[in-house]
C-alpha cells in the first residue's frame, strides 16, 4: 500500500496544499513564495528521499511566521496520514550532519507524541535574498508545527557553526535523513507495530 498523503489547509492567513510520498525518490515540485524555505523544502525532499509537492500562499504582508509555521503543520499532517498505523517502521532515526564549519544533529521518535527540543543558536539577522529576506526565527516555528501535527518527537541541535545558512540547511538535512530512517520499513519486523503497547498513537 502506497504511503502517500495529500492535505490542503486554508485559513484566513494561509492556503497550503502538500502531497507527500514517503517512498519516493527525492523529487520536489514547489510553488513557494519564500526563496530560502523553497531551498529547504527541496533539500528536505532530496535527503529524505521523499517526493514532495508544495503549493503555498500566505499573508507575507504581515511577516513570514504564519506561512512557515503552517507549512510545518501541513507537512506534519501529511506525515501522520502517510505513516498510518506505523506498522513495520523503524520508528527511530538519527543523523549527524556536517556542513563545512557547521555540525547539526537530529534524533526522531515516531512516538505518537508531538515534542520538539530545538537548540540552535542563530544570529537573528535575516538571510537576505534578491526578492525577500528570510526570517530565521521561523525555523523553530516550522518544526514545532511539524512535530505537533505529526505526533513525532524530534530533537534538533546545532552543535557548532558560524553561517546561519549552513546551520539551518544542515538542520533540514539531518532532520530529513533521521525521518527517512525512522519512517522506513524494517524488513525484520515488517508486520509489527514497533511498540510493546501494540499501538503508536
Interface residues with Mn ion (CB under 5 A) are 169
Cell of 102: 557547521
42 or 144: CB nearest Mn ion:
42
Task: Give the CB-side neighbour count of residue 143, counting CA atoms within 13 A.
Answer: 27
Find the shortest distance in angstroms from Cβ 169 to Mn ion. Answer: 5
Query: What is the DSSP code (8-state) at residue 27?
Result: -
What's the rounded Cα separation, in Å, for the pair 95 and 174? 5
Find the shortest distance in angstroms from Cβ 165 to Mn ion. Answer: 6
Find the shortest distance in angstroms from Cβ 97 to Mn ion. Answer: 13
69 or 169: CB nearest Mn ion:
169
100 or 137: CB nearest Mn ion:
100
What's the rounded Cα separation, in Å, for the pair 81 and 102? 33
> Residue 57: which residues within 8 A CB-CB, separation 6 or more?
14, 15, 16, 33, 67
Cell of 14: 494561509
Residues comprising the chain, all counted = 201
Query: What is the DSSP code (8-state) at residue 189?
Result: G
What's the rounded Cα separation, in Å, for the pair 161 and 171? 11
Find the shortest distance in angstroms from Cβ 153 to Mn ion. Answer: 27
86 or 166: CB nearest Mn ion:
166
99 or 108: CB nearest Mn ion:
99
Find the shortest distance in angstroms from Cβ 57 to Mn ion. Answer: 24
What residue is closest to Mn ion based on CB?
Answer: 169
Amino acid at each position: 500500500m502506497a504511503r502517500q498523503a495529500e492535505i490542503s489547509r486554508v485559513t484566513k492567513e494561509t492556503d497550503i496544499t502538500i502531497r507527500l510520498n514517503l517512498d519516493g525518490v527525492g523529487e520536489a515540485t514547489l510553488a513557494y513564495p519564500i526563496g530560502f524555505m523553497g531551498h529547504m523544502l527541496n533539500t528536505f525532499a532530496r535527503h529524505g528521499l521523499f517526493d514532495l509537492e508544495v503549493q503555498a500562499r500566505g499573508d507575507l504582508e504581515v511577516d513570514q511566521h504564519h506561512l512557515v509555521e503552517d507549512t510545518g503543520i501541513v507537512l506534519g499532517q501529511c506525515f501522520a496520514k502517510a505513516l498510518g498505523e506505523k506498522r513495520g517502521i523503524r520508528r527511530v532515526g538519527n543523523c549527524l550532519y556536517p556542513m563545512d564549519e557547521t555540525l547539526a544533529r537530529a534524533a526522531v521518535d515516531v512516538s505518537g507524541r508531538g515534542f520538539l527540543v530545538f537548540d540552535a543558536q542563530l544570529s537573528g539577522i535575516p538571510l537576505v535574498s534578491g526578492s525577500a529576506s528570510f526570517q530565521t526565527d521561523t525555523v523553530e516555528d516550522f518544526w514545532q508545527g511539524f512535530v505537533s501535527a505529526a505526533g513525532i518527537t524530534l530533537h534538533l541541535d546545532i552543535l557548532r557553526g558560524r553561517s546561519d545558512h549552513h546551520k539551518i540547511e544542515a538542520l533540514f538535512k539531518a532532520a530529513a535523513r533521521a525521518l527517512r530512517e525512522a519512517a522506513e520499513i524494517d524488513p525484520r519486523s515488517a508486520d509489527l507495530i514497533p511498540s510493546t503497547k501494540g499501538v503508536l498513537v
